[in-house]
Structure 1
Amino acid sequence: MEERQGRAGLLALVPGLLLVCGVLADVLGPVPYSGLPLLAAAPLVGCMVLPFRGAVITAVCACVVSVGTDLLVHRPVLALVVDLLDVAVISAIALWLKWVVRRQGRRFAAVRAVAEVAQRAVLPPLPAQVGALSVATRYECAYAEALIGGDFYAVQSSPFGVRALIGDVRGKGLPAVSTMAVATSTFREAAGRVPSLRALADHLDHALARYAADTGDTPDALEGFATAVLVEIRMEEGALRVCNRGHPPPYLIRDGEVRALEPAVAGLPLGLGLSESEVPPGTDTFAFHRGDFLLLVTDGVTEARDEKGTYYEPSTGLSGRGFHEASHLVDTLVADVTAWTGGQRQDDMAILVLTPRPTSPSAPSA
């Protein structure tokens, strides 16, 4: 931070140095008008490295110095006027560009603020603990300027165990955000009352299809659908149920071994408007014990490519590693994907990790 501030301070001196050099070139140089380019460059540089007020002061100083220098070297009045017009016109253009950029910056800041509010509304921060599970999440946009994309997740405690959802809406922009809002709100409303994971997936499917119909989308347009994985964990049974609807599979990490939980029957994405008979059943059950980690990701992880075009594979990249908590696994995965892509991420990335909470020793009786 101090180094950056020192560099900014040095850059702020450049417009003044250009003015001084322009005067010296005019007074001491052998060629007439040799200092004019330096005087004209001072307002341009000032607009790049100084705040707006400082840029205005630099432009005024450049005009004054131009007139003063021409008077000092006894140039004709016509030459003085031409020099002044050159510096004044360049200064005016530079100040206008700076004003436009500053206005756009303010608009961009307002858009970022709205996007952040939308993100917190659609994807509110999840608690670190839900039921008997510890929870860790991460949302990384492909572009730093965008705070929200088409990926989503949610975790809900229910009478049937802890239920979680992760998914990816087709498309980007406001339509994707709206579909995300429908998916997450429907999940939160239904997760505590719908008895089976398959029925919960069907409920989400109907909600997204109904929303697409209300907004004018048709199934043929293939807009408004989402891939998703729904999971249900019952620690008292040591059971993990997974319903995969066209999404990358979750990963079960146990004792350094990473296993992709592929569905026995592939399901179709949510919101396509198909009848129940056209959607194959797909709920698989796996063992889930203390010390296990369940990793759910979007295709921003599984389709992350290196410079050779090779996809990142979590079951290989995370194999043989030990993780002491859910957030440790999330941090490790983000660092791996960033290193794999060289920081050039191609798609948004959402990560959700669930693991049983460590048992705390019982308090001594009084």
Structure 2
Amino acid sequence: MPTSKRNGLASSTAVSAVGLRKSYGDKTVLDGIDLRIPAGTVFALLGPNGAGKTTAVKILSTLVTADAGELRVGGYDLATDPQAVRAAIGVTGQFSAVDGLITGEENMLLMADLHHLSRREGRRVAAELLERFDLAEAAKKPAATYSGGMKRRLDIAMTLVGGPRIIFLDEPTTGLDPRSRHNMWGVIRGLVSTGVTVFLTTQYLEEADQLADRIAVLNGGRIAAEGTADQLKRLVPGGYVRLRFSDPVRYQSAAAVLREANRDDAALALRVPSDGSQRELRSILDWLDSVGIEADELTVHTPDLDDVFFALTGPSADSAAGSTARPTANPATVPHQRKENDR
């Protein structure tokens, strides 16, 4: 099987899909997508609302049947051995499965019963997970009294009761405040450090950038692009080096020789198109030295995942990037779309 490396360890493929298709009536939700996710990594699936992210999760977690495709999860064929797949996975959906009328500990013990653990084993596992997720002090309190972040941590702790090797997290931080979101990132990193594979869907592009080993952008039922965060960012043009001057005379001299730069006369700043690479930055600095120009401030700006997302899922994405765009594609084929009206 294909392998990848994380923390120096070889890993096998945890989830694979070839030609995954799903339609509801005459609406095609997933139009032949391919995925391959190495074990012990975080994979993030991005896309606008209605792109099919949750449908993909439901299919791969055996909750919905695919119309077509060769699908394997945890080494098991989804079509012929769904029970083995269910035993290997855990699922945390968009909406919490926590019962607010009972305590956190009781929620955990209920999950232990559903996994047919003995009473003694169930209490041991529940106690370990409550401690691990910093919920031990609140274990005897009704879950309804928990904050949003605590409920989400309890939700994931409940998912881990059965010891899954693969976890599907469908928008796990939606509705959380920034501090709780960052705490959840720590939880996810901790899971992966133990060898768990995380399949993540999220609306927060920074979240994917921070957590994911690989990212796929789903649009119109197809994978518009897939790669590491850095690979995807290189798909989108628009990077530049900003040179700011405090002396108007030096600014005018620089503008006269850097004719390809965009001028900001009010700020005494020039924007020189650049891919942000070390080689190109060194070239710009060497050239400035050769003509005797010294800027007071130099900053490098590169496209972020917001730029990638808007370029690949915007109105002109289908005609410009097509449904087969990959990190090896010519960046000029993916238009840069401004974000002012998309917030």
Bin the TM-score by the shorter chain: under 0.3
Q: Please report the TM-score for the alignment, with normalisation by the length of structure 2.
A: 0.25
Structure with greater strand percent = 2
> Which protein is richer in helix relative to its size?
1
- The higher-RCO structure (CA 8 Å, 6+ apart) is 2
